[in-house]
Amino acid sequence: MMGKLINRAIAGAIVIIGFGLSTAHATHEANHRFTVVGTVTYEDGAPVPREKVAILGGDETELGSVRTDAQGLYRTVLHLHDPDLGKVFDLKVQDQKKKVRVQFDPDDKTTERGVRVDFVLSR
């Protein structure tokens, strides 16, 4: 299911290297990238286009951001390695924050690594 959303998500991608920002597109092998995808919708299910999704470090510093597309989809790619397993960062949309823990199988070097994080906003 995440693969389908990744393929549909056309929002811009950024790369975060060691939790420092780089604006290059990620073309790294699967074991060097961690994809975060999701949707931002209103409570009635309507998409929220052009909404900012910010990636925050542990000290609340904004490391980067992307915007949702017309269907409320977003996608960002982080450049992470096996030692990054277990690291935590926040995603923020408006006043909502969600903690994300980097989870993957470090022995699996071929399966796409990532997580889906959806937001539902009030109007």
Range name among 17-31, 33-47, 80-94 with the lowest pLDDT average: 17-31
Cα–Cα distance, 24 to 72 (Å, whole number): 23
Against a cut of 0.85, is the pTM above it? no
Question: Tokens in use for 14?
Answer: 């950024």
Rounded to 5 degrees, φ, ψ at 102 are -70, 115
When the pLDDT of each residue in the chain is averaged and rounded to a whole number, the result is 81
> What are 26-62's pLDDT values in tens digits?
456 777 888 999 999 999 999 999 999 999 987 888 9
Domain ranges of the chain: 2-105
| Region 2-105: CATH code | 2.60.40
- Mean pLDDT for 108-112 is 88
- Location of structure tokens 């990744």: 6
